[in-house]
Amino acid sequence: MKYRWLLWLCLLLPWTAMAASVQATLDRNDVHLGETVTLNLHIGDAVTASTPDLSVLDRDFEVLGTSTSSSLSVINGKQSAELIIGVALRPKHQGDLQIPSLNLAGSQTNPLTLHVGPPDTTAGGHAGQDVFVEAEASANHIYVGQQILYTVRLFYAGDLNGGNLPNPDVTGADLQQLGNDITYGADRNGRHYSVVERRYALTPRHAGSLVVPSIEFQGEMLDRGNPNDPGGFFNPGGLFGNTTPVTADSPEVKIDVQAPPVDWGQTTWLPARSLTLSLQGLPSDDKLTAGQPLNLRLSVDAQGLSGDALPSLSLPTIDGAMVYPDQPKTTTHDDSEWLTGHSERGFAIIPQRAGTLTIPAITLTWFDVQSGQKKVATIPSHTLTVLAANGAPAPAASTTQSVAAPSVAAASPAASPAGAGTATVVASSTPWRWIALGSLALWLLSTAIFVWLYKRKRLSMVAMTKPHTEPADSTRALRQAFLDAARGHDRSVQARRLLAWARAERPAVRNLGQVAEALASNEQRAAIELLQREQYAGVSAEARIDLAAIFGKGFAWRQDEKAENDSPLPPLYPFKLD
């Protein structure tokens, strides 16, 4: 019996693999009774397919017809195809109408919901007109910087031979078209019209009253009748006909734009429908190695904002590590209704010592335009364990006590009453005590030798660049060591020796970023930034920088005290919420 089930499973697997990727979408999710809507059935990696059984739609819709289109694209050498079956539907009644899952190309489409409102009677002022234009905003009371949907619709009854519908020219706002034009049919006051709908993302730049001016459509309407040829001799059946110029103007749209709330504070104003903040790249075992870079990627996604409107990303100051940022990247995506901005930035974090390393909490304050409330996106703080360069864990504070503990425990029986048993215990534990003490002494001796050799090697590396008549750890020797390294090509050595020289003059600086912040010379600051990018961010300089010439006359320090303590990497604004 079990082999029969295995046989059936093997027969089903090929059919499962052949099932195509399908998806159902609507060109609009909200329509009026009398209007038409297009159901688009997407089939991935296909060029042909049969139209599915649409009889399940007969209860709520009239199926007016179907059409097919296909596309073929090649991205990064990978070819992909898509087939789209368009189904024109006219709702039969009002309400939330359900479009059930359909069997398409061996797979099931996702169910959809279409909201159908009462017939639109707003065309009362256009009754009897062959062509008219409507315009509306999704909201008339908004905040500065908030994106809304601005929609223009061209209605025409008859046949257009051509025309031009320009984009609105708005002062004090950004206007961006979303997707392609949508075409459908609609009934207004008992007359059927063809409709061309165009959507825009409208974002005001200033508070106050915003006016979207009228736009004028200019076109030609085809007149199949010819009064000069009543018999139709030159135009049988009115096939060609004459054209008549037609024009139509859209109404002005006024929008009240409010300033940010008075209690918003000094943080960046980010009015969005939704916002998420994420950090990727943390090790799964929460362990790092001192001196080895950890590559993190910080990103933010906001619906209702473009990528250019998002703040520049940065990490807060991390104690015990140097942070080197990569170049930020921003993109903007639209879903034919809302803009979604994306910004991301990579960071190379280099732990400087063994122990623990804490990445502080990262926060970003934004304003939810849907609820009208201030919100804070937060990434909690994260603590990592930093291992020494040889892979050993960091020495704990109680190491000496734990090593000496066996000696104390071995001597404790001596306090018991004298006797043979007591003498035996003391005698048997004595060798282990001497072994433990000897091991501890050897460990201390080897540690002292290692430290001595390390210091001697480090001093010799500096001293080898100058005569022995000059102290090896002097500022002058460190400066000369850097200048010698600057003539080479090892960016790691150059960065290390430049920092050592700077710390000799300004002990408060901890990394090259703080050195750059403390300098008054833009040329020296730019040189340090480029050196860091070449070292950690994998960015090659277009032209080689002459570090020896730039720093040959010494550091151009700023004269204020703040220069010694400022961090070059400000936290992701705003960390201080007020």
Domain boundary among 233, 258, 283: 258
Strands 107-108 and 22-26: unpaired
Based on the fold, state whether residues 145 and 246 are members of the same structural domain. Answer: yes
Q: Is 108 part of a structural domain of the chain? A: yes
Look over the chain and give the mean of its residue pLDDT values, rounded to a whole number. Answer: 78
Split at pLDDT 50, 70, 90, the class of 467 is very low
418-428: average pLDDT: 36
62 and 173 in a single domain? The answer is no
Q: Are residues 380 and 451 located together in one domain of the fold?
A: no
- Mean pLDDT value of segment 394-404: 38
Could you tell me the pTM of the whole model? 0.56
In a domain, 463, yes or no: no
In a domain, 254, yes or no: yes
Query: Are 139 and 235 found together in one domain?
Result: yes
Q: What is the DSSP string of 206-247?
A: SSEEEEE---EEEEEEEE---TT-TT-SSSGGGSS-EEEEEE
Residue 378 sits in a domain of what CATH number? 2.60.40
Structural domain count of the chain? 5
Q: Among 76-85, 110-119, 400-409, where is mean pLDDT lowest?
A: 400-409
In a domain? residue 248: yes
Look at residue 62 and tell me if it is in a domain: yes
Q: Are both 206 and 91 inside the same structural domain?
A: no
Amino acid at site 413:
P
Where would I find the beta strands (DSSP E) of 373-483?
373-379, 382-387
Q: Mean pLDDT across the stretch 89-108? A: 87
Q: Which of 166, 120, 153, 134 is nearest to 250 (CA)?
A: 134
The answer for residues whose C-beta is within 8 angstroms of residue 556's C-beta and 6 or more apart is 519, 520, 521, 524
Spatial CB neighbours of 136, under 8 Å, sequence gap ≥ 6 = 150, 151, 253
Whether residue 243 sits in one domain with residue 130: yes
Most confident of 95-109, 280-294, 420-434, 469-483: 280-294
Do 36 and 136 fall within a single domain?
no
209-258 confidence digits (pLDDT tens): 999 999 999 998 887 554 454 444 444 444 445 778 888 999 999 999 99
572 occurs within a structural domain: no
Q: Are residues 248 and 154 in the same domain?
A: yes
Task: Decide if 393 is inside a domain.
Answer: no
Of 93, 117, 141, which residue constitutes the final position of a domain? 117
Q: Is the same domain home to 69 and 111?
A: yes
Of 414, 401, 407, nearest in space to 431 by CA: 407
Q: Could you tell me the two tokens for 228?
A: 């000069």
How large is the average pLDDT for residues 176-200?
A: 91
* 237 and 356 assigned to the same domain: no
pLDDT of 3 higher than 70: no
Q: In terms of pLDDT, which residue wins out, 544 or 283?
A: 283
% of the chain exceeding 70 in pLDDT = 73
Mean pLDDT of 403-417: 34
135 shares its domain with 245: yes
Clarify whether residues 81 and 135 are in a common domain.
no
Q: 487 is in which domain, residue-wise? A: 475-564
* pLDDT recorded at residue 105: 78
Question: Residue 567 — very low, low, confident or very high, per pLDDT cuts 50/70/90?
Answer: very low
Is the pLDDT assigned to residue 401 strictly greater than 80? Answer: no
pLDDT value, residue 465: 41
Q: Does residue 149 lie within any of the structural domains?
A: yes
Residue 7, pLDDT > 60, answer no
Average pLDDT, integer, range 48-72: 83
